Structure 1
């Protein structure tokens, strides 16, 4: 029976744990699905016996075929199952092993070559529904030791899938698929897990093997001298200074070389002259897509910093040393990521800013501000910082790497958090508005982005605006446009000038209370009627307005919730009505020498990011180009490898054009949409919006700075 085929949705493994969910690495069988999309099924214990029933969200699981589930059940502890799944190519090769394939197993500090003989069912089937575990019966390629085992009539050892660290490429013309044997088939007792094996020292090989002694000996020696293995994620610094990431597909000594080399299958296709499809020289060592294979000396490979283990608050692995001189310097100004490059550079796992220890508020904010938007592209006032100042660290360790390679490791973020000067920023979860104020004022030395003026001629400055409204002032599904207008009019505030960047905080208080269950995120804000000194249209006749009236805002006969401003004639007629005679309209401040028939030019701002929060966790949506469907979703802690004490977070970026498709509908159409039928990301945007970020595409942010220093090239 072969371990091939598409995954069967009848089995799953839990890849992330919710607040009250199943443990990571748990394997289960799907028996039913709820209308919400959750999975209900039986959970397997370590012996393969059904332990209990459980319920888990589908997004927290990964589908498995039955044989994949059986192989992983034999792996212990459960966290190691997820480690094996992360090595996609290695696990795929293990699932497709054939009889007499050569593999390498790791025991203590030694690597031993073996021949694959059988797939063994582990345990004794005694209950209906039990899933017997699978292990590999391997024959050690040490003839002396094997002869000794045969004389003692000792059965071949059985290994779990996680103990196989390398699958040697097969050159056999005909590969015999493995059949699954039970203990009774081979006249042996039920197999038990192999926890210890003798240390084999000899490197001699089975006679008749298609591999010579020197080939495997070199491969074993190379493995013994390096922590990297086939299936490991690695990174290499290229000659032009770019960090290249890939999966090690082969390790050994190639023809014509003396020392150990590694063959990598790269994450992205490269057009360098030495890239191939797995060929090196005249010999093929593995097979992959064209221009994605790269062969380099093993000592130039470093463990992928994105997949480091044993992180703690005060101990995060340092980036590996590089052997090449990077083309980019600390002072270089890397431009925002352009629309054509976003999907190839950013979308995927281990992309964006890696979260670590309550950092999601900061990760989501920095990603929103600096990935692709030009709103904050002229923000580094280097005259106020020396070369080791905090704004320099922000640019060097976070902004430039994010734009250049699409990834920022958690260590860089932690270093920046420590530089903020308050211990709580390095340990505690903060609100984005608190961080934004410190970022813009103390790090980037910006003047307040927002300047407000009231009719009483009082001026107010702020970096963000908190919307404050009464619930009865808007409908059940308000838009950001409606909320902003009502908030400013009710507070008797107007913008003194067009903001270069407008950060609007939704009406929710604390991390749980939301005044509105859903809010429509306006992709464009029209702030014409919210400017202090600007020409406006009469609400009734469309001519140039001279007055506005806050008391008319909620008049049920005059489109409640809409800003009311009138020309002199309409103002008189409206306020003759008995119900409005007590109103006190305000005379508008208009630009000097403005003709009565002058056309009103609308002033708009464009949405470029949305920060969302759900159960104390922040994520963000970012618009990365002029196309209306150019949206991506970012979560710095979307997944995790390892347990809570020994593991790391996996940031994920997803393209989400469906968000734009939904928001492109009119407010009337949106009001009738069945939200339960929307995608999870659309529901998340509507239900969890915390901050909406808008930019004035006609005015650079530098106008708010005391000194302008462009970071664009």
Structure 2
């Protein structure tokens, strides 16, 4: 008798398409090669079958193991990105794998998100070959808001894939008082008798029974993750965006931004008055006493300390191989959600937000990170593992970050909150062993090397609402500084000191920085006629008759004419250094840099905005401590990454429109960026291979 061979199924979670396999593809292992690669068969999910395709080869480290049941559920999900998105929500996927008859679920439907009852687990397709893999879906009876069946006709309940289920409510947690109705089924499917106890994944989802111990009371505040039970028995989840009193209502109320649209909710308004901003049908206003901490991140039957050891994410096999930056589609499918990004711990937000900003999607910094070292220090190995885990799995636990902090060589980094610029200096100098990114020439003679650029100026030099371009231009001219070469990355610190003092109430981020006029010995156009410029004037910078805020450089003729004006006769134009090889009619290209991340600080807490991709709306917001489960001694922080397309909409406006913006009338996250920006990160635009001279300089 031949021994039984245990089947090994998997899903590809990363890596480029290779021999038939791509991200989100599902396969079965046929054999393992000595170099760690798997010979496998990939399955093709469709509306009718789960037939296998021709074999292929995939790296083992690029896969995540699945049970047969999990593979069958995911195979019925036609979108590979949605498969990965579901896989990265282990609490929900675990509950879906364990769905039982008559469990109440919330599904995506043409009517929106609606409650329904699970009737059957269905096998889709015909068993043409024993090598084929059935796809599995759920028959769900749709309910109306009164817990009656939405359809009275004897028709088969609709089929839903695992990705269509957005919430699971166990059958014992709510009494529906309805009866099943049998109907005809004409689809190429067959019923599985029971859907209980089939497959497990990750942690068990928290299921409270009537009479069980209630969730420990945790103080609720702005940003807390909460759950609220609706009149229909369905629990909805969201984030508290506002707390206060409502006219005509007693007690304290909370405004909650829900995880998904719910009929009857608003976009943040109540009684015709706006309290916060979110997309339509997601804002719920409810007495604060009816809000409870989100039970998905806490359990009554286990201590908070034990949950800290069981971070609700799939296990991760560390590898020192380089993982490339996330593309736009990868970032949004892998990163968006709770327990995503880098988990914060013990005042680590300065480090978490900085690492997420630097290495999530920046191509320029990725090239610098790949620079070979003769001997790679332990801190570099640890950093590489953190970056690989972020890009491969979308989540880095706090333990990895704390280990990295302890290896930095400075005790205060592991015990106290530091400024991002201090961390960046240590990171590039001690860990990455990279020479300073900026080489500044002061007064045309002395040189300054630095990793970040601090804005220094007098408030009187600027308008009340400056742009980053205006701040950089004014600061460089006031200090008589020029960039020796175009930097591959430019990190600009805003004129503020610590978490309290801000020179400006809010600052307009420049999506593109033009540093042509800030380069030493670089040919520049006359501000007026476009000819080769020979003079520069700091006093003309704020002149309202000459486009205030723009650097003014003139050819000899225009310089004379401009400074003949009575109000400018006291100016002292500075001669520019012009290369003798530059001809007056030579083309003068512009050197620009693109914004790819912004670090913000509010009440000593750092968060970040990161752009992933070329789409103007492809912005992500990251908070390593968006919420917390448990107390300060035995709890853990819950990081969160959310899409922020409203920032892209805002930044797409003209400079005139931006400077006229009232921060109180923009979405909350946009307002946060305007008022709390601490450091803006720019990279070369467009991203091109570094010049040979610069590569040699950085490898020095």
8 Å Cα contact 1:526-1:605 kept in structure 2 = yes
The residue number in structure 1 matching 2:366 is: 377
Cα offsets for 1:558-602 (capped at 9, x unmatched): 344321111011122233445544443222223442221223211
Task: Write the mapping of 1:89-488 to structure 2, written as runs, cut at 5 A.
Answer: 229=204, 231=206, 317=309, 330-380=319-369, 384=373, 386=375, 389-396=378-385, 398-488=386-476
8 Å Cα contact 2:359-2:366 kept in structure 1 = yes
8 Å Cα contact 1:85-1:91 kept in structure 2 = no
Aligned counterpart for 1:655 among listed residues 624, 643, 647 = 643
Query: Equivalent residue of 1:376, what SS?
Result: helix
- Alignment of 1:635 with 2:623, yes or no, is yes
- Deviation, 1:680, is 0.3
8 Å Cα contact 1:381-1:445 kept in structure 2 = no
The residue number in structure 2 matching 1:285 is: none
TM-score (norm 2): 0.57
- Give the Cα separation in 2 of the matches to 1:668 and 1:91: 55
8 Å Cα contact 1:166-1:231 kept in structure 2 = no
Cα offsets for 1:323-373 (capped at 9, x unmatched): 9xx8x7632110000112111111111110011110000000000000111
8 Å Cα contact 1:445-1:705 kept in structure 2 = no
Change (3 A) 1:387 1:485: closer
The residue number in structure 2 matching 1:516 is: 504
Aligned counterpart for 2:553 among listed residues 538, 560, 565 = 565
Change (3 A) 1:476 1:322: closer
- Give the Cα separation in 1 of the matches to 2:427 and 2:449: 16
- Give the Cα separation in 1 of the matches to 2:602 and 2:663: 17
The residue number in structure 1 matching 2:603 is: 615
The residue number in structure 2 matching 1:24 is: none
Query: Equivalent residue of 1:682, what SS?
Result: helix
8 Å Cα contact 2:202-2:312 kept in structure 1 = no
- Deviation, 1:640, is 1.2
Aligned length: 443
Task: Write the mapping of 1:26-45 to structure 2, written as runs, cut at 5 A.
Answer: none
Range 537-546 or range 504-513, more displaced: 537-546
Cα offsets for 1:27-57 (capped at 9, x unmatched): xxxxxxxxxxxxxxxxxxxxxxxxxxxxxxx
The residue number in structure 2 matching 1:532 is: 520
Change (3 A) 1:365 1:704: farther
Cα offsets for 1:38-92 (capped at 9, x unmatched): xxxxxxxxxxxxxxxxxxxxxxxxxxxxxxxxxxxxxxxxxxxxxx999988999
Aligned counterpart for 1:500 among listed residues 488, 491, 501 = 488
- Give the Cα separation in 1 of the matches to 2:426 and 2:450: 12
Query: Equivalent residue of 1:478, what SS?
Result: coil
- Give the Cα separation in 2 of the matches to 1:96 and 1:698: 50
Cα offsets for 1:383-427 (capped at 9, x unmatched): 54646621111002x100000011100000000001001121111
8 Å Cα contact 2:536-2:552 kept in structure 1 = yes
Range 370-379 or range 518-527, more displaced: 370-379
- Deviation, 1:382, is 6.9
Cα offsets for 1:621-667 (capped at 9, x unmatched): 00000111111100000011122222111111111111011111112
Cα offsets for 1:80-126 (capped at 9, x unmatched): xxxx99998899999969xxxxxxxxxxxxxxxxxxxxxxxxxxxxx
8 Å Cα contact 1:535-1:600 kept in structure 2 = yes
8 Å Cα contact 1:306-1:409 kept in structure 2 = no
Change (3 A) 1:321 1:609: closer
Task: Write the mapping of 1:669-684 to structure 2, written as runs, cut at 5 A.
Answer: 669-684=657-672
The residue number in structure 1 matching 2:655 is: 667
- Give the Cα separation in 1 of the matches to 2:327 and 2:438: 28
- Deviation, 1:510, is 1.6
- Give the Cα separation in 2 of the matches to 1:623 and 1:686: 16
8 Å Cα contact 1:354-1:637 kept in structure 2 = yes
- Give the Cα separation in 2 of the matches to 1:558 and 1:638: 46
- Give the Cα separation in 2 of the matches to 1:613 and 1:525: 22
- Give the Cα separation in 1 of the matches to 2:485 and 2:393: 37
Change (3 A) 1:502 1:597: same
The residue number in structure 2 matching 1:279 is: none
- Give the Cα separation in 2 of the matches to 1:321 and 1:572: 68
- Give the Cα separation in 1 of the matches to 2:400 and 2:297: 11
Tell me the C-alpha RMSD between the 2 structures: 4.2
Query: Equivalent residue of 2:449, what SS?
Result: strand
- Give the Cα separation in 1 of the matches to 2:697 and 2:477: 33
Change (3 A) 1:310 1:591: farther
Structure whose CA Rg is larger: 1
8 Å Cα contact 2:104-2:170 kept in structure 1 = no
The residue number in structure 2 matching 1:100 is: none
- Deviation, 1:516, is 0.5
- Give the Cα separation in 2 of the matches to 1:386 and 1:311: 38
- Give the Cα separation in 2 of the matches to 1:628 and 1:442: 35
- Give the Cα separation in 2 of the matches to 1:471 and 1:88: 57
- Give the Cα separation in 2 of the matches to 1:579 and 1:228: 73
The residue number in structure 2 matching 1:80 is: none
8 Å Cα contact 2:513-2:594 kept in structure 1 = yes
Change (3 A) 1:599 1:400: same
- Give the Cα separation in 2 of the matches to 1:373 and 1:534: 27
Range 670-679 or range 695-704, more displaced: 695-704
- Give the Cα separation in 1 of the matches to 2:333 and 2:633: 32
- Give the Cα separation in 2 of the matches to 1:708 and 1:455: 24
- Deviation, 1:518, is 0.8
Aligned counterpart for 1:694 among listed residues 656, 677, 682 = 682
- Give the Cα separation in 2 of the matches to 1:322 and 1:673: 44
Query: Equivalent residue of 2:649, what SS?
Result: helix
The residue number in structure 2 matching 1:546 is: 534
Query: Equivalent residue of 1:550, what SS?
Result: coil
Change (3 A) 1:87 1:481: same
Query: Equivalent residue of 1:551, what SS?
Result: coil
Change (3 A) 1:305 1:661: closer
